[in-house]
């Protein structure tokens, strides 16, 4: 059984691990042990917790342009996760701001609305929390609480418009089938500002990379909010409520917040307080997927450093590489543009003529003009780690 194949890897710097193990380590190795584990229907992933299940995509599985369904990260807050019968599943649309409440079957969703496909990065708000300095509590994610996939579904706005959105609607609230163990624990409900809910790119998706959504990624239908962090991408959707007042549930009012004025990104005005505001858009970022620190290159060999760059939907303008301690930056070659919400591949040919240490730094710039920062902007929940990444290689 899968659990018998579990491995325990200690991410000790400089230790030469087997090729499989090494490829699983994040470029800036997480400061915690990485234990591999497997959920039904998934391949071996980095297990961050058993229950609720939180599993991270290993670096090797972030190399392909599209992250495969069986390698895509899994993130839950609540431990009761029912297997849903697609025949009896219903999606209820109502709320004080819905003029004609309705109930949809999966068949209704698939046949009664225009089908839309887009490619988008889904990145957990807490991706890289395990790399935070100083460290902060929470799931100690490395680099792999993210992935890039092609999502197919229908526009949320088409569904909402059928339900009739009242003129004074301010937010749309989403609930999924996952539930808490105790009735005293807040259910996982999220809301979006009405304008983001009505955005043409916000989808109710039922397919991922051309296949039905995997159970662990939200079957039979989940929200897809391109450019916004994964917390809004509610899985196993069961109910959508159009509301005329801000939603005050715990997962909006008491979690997933950043100090006000600290980060760029879309505002969520109806949820703002004097102190903090919900995390919203993904910040410009990049990840080296070709190498991890400690890798050895043969002198004179043809080697490219490669990886992915992404942001919250402006798109990537350039990815630059420095090999001289961040003094000079040179442009890398960008891969195919899969859409402004997708990640963009980059590659850069390294000069391997001179033996010795080679420290490679990579920084991305968005079409919105934002560049990855050198210094981490600390925040208590450990969000938005998008600092310039380096890998220390050795040419010998």
Partner 1 sequence: MRGALAGAVLLAALGGAWAPAMADEDAIQLRDGSWRDLVAARCAICHSLDYLPSNAPVLDRAGWQKVIQKMRERFGAPITDEESQEILDYLTASYASKP
C-beta of 173: minimal distance to partner 1 in Å? 19
Residue with smaller CB distance to partner 1, 55 or 151: 55
- For partner 1, the binding residues (CB under 8 A) are 1, 3, 31-32, 39-40, 47-53, 79-83, 135-140, 180-186, 250, 254
State the minimum distance, in angstroms, from the CB of residue 285 to partner 1: 23
- Cα–Cα distance measured from residue 331 to residue 351, given in angstroms and rounded to the nearest whole number: 14
Q: How far apart are the first and last CA of the chain?
A: 41
CB of 1 to partner 1, least distance (A): 8
Residue 166 is encoded by which pair of tokens?
Answer: 């009242």
* Euclidean distance between CA atoms 241 and 185, whole angstroms: 21
CB of 189 to partner 1, least distance (A): 14
CB nearer partner 1, residue 35 or residue 304: 35
Q: Is 142 exposed, middle or buried (0-12, 13-18, 19+ CB in 10 A)?
A: buried
Q: Which is nearer to partner 1, 183 or 369 (CB)?
A: 183
- The smaller minimum CB distance to partner 1, of residues 32 and 212, is found at 32
Q: Where are the beta strands (DSSP E) in 266-386?
A: 276-278, 285-288, 296-297, 303-310, 316-322, 330-331, 333-334, 344-350, 356-366
Q: Supply the minimum distance, in Å, between the C-beta of residue 82 and partner 1.
A: 5
SS3 content of the chain, % helix, strand, coil (to 5): 10, 35, 55
111 vs 135, beta carbon nearer partner 1? 135
Could you tell me the smallest distance in angstroms from the CB atom of residue 215 to partner 1? 9
Burial 322-352 (b: 16+ CB within 10 A, else e): bbeeeeebeebebbeebbbbbbbbbebebeb
Which CB, 145 or 306, lies closer to partner 1? 145
Would you list the DSSP string of 43-69? --EEEEETTTTEEE--GGGGSSSS--T
- Cβ 12 to partner 1, closest distance in Å? 15
Distances (CA, A) of 165 to 101, 191, 198, 241: 10, 15, 10, 10
CB closer to partner 1 out of 184 and 327: 184
């Amino acid at each position: 059984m899968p659990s018998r194949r579990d491995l325990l890897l200690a991410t000790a710097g400089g230790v030469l691990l087997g090729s499989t193990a090494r490829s699983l380590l994040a470029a800036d190795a997480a400061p915690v042990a990485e234990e591999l584990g497997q959920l039904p229907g998934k391949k071996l992933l980095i297990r961050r917790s058993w229950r609720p299940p939180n599993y991270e995509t290993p670096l090797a599985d972030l190399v392909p342009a599209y992250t495969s369904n069986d390698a895509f990260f899994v993130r839950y807050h609540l431990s009761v996760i029912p297997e849903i019968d697609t025949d009896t599943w219903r999606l209820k649309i109502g709320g004080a701001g819905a003029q004609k409440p309705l109930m949809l079957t999966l068949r209704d969703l698939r046949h009664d609305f225009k089908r839309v496909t887009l490619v988008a990065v889904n990145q957990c708000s807490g991706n890289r929390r395990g790399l935070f300095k100083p460290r902060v509590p929470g799931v100690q994610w490395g680099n792999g609480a993210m992935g890039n996939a092609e999502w197919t579904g229908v526009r949320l706005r088409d569904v909402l418009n059928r339900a009739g959105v009242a003129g004074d609607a301010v937010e749309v609230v989403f609930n999924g089938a996952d539930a808490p163990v105790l009735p005293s624990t807040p259910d996982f409900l999220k809301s979006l500002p009405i304008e983001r809910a009505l955005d043409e790119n916000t989808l109710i998706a039922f397919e991922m990379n051309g296949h039905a959504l995997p159970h662990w990624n939200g079957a039979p239908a989940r929200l897809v909010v391109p450019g916004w962090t994964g917390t809004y991408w509610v899985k196993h959707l069961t109910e959508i409520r159009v509301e005329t007042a801000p939603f005050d549930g715990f997962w909006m009012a008491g979690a997933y917040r950043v100090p006000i004025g600290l980060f760029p990104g879309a505002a969520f005005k109806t949820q703002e307080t004097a102190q903090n505001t919900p995390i919203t858009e993904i910040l410009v970022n990049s990840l080296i997927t070709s190498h991890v620190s400690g890798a050895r290159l043969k002198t004179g060999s043809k080697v490219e450093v490669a990886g992915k760059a992404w942001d919250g939907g402006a798109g990537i303008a350039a990815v630059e590489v420095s090999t001289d301690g961040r003094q000079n930056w040179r442009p890398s070659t960008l891969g195919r543009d899969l859409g402004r919400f997708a990640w963009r591949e980059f590659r850069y040919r390294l000069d391997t003529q001179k033996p010795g240490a080679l420290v490679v730094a990579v920084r991305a710039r968005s079409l919105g003009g934002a560049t990855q920062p050198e210094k981490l902007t600390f925040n208590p929940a450990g969000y938005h780690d998008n600092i310039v990444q380096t890998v220390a290689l050795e040419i010998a």
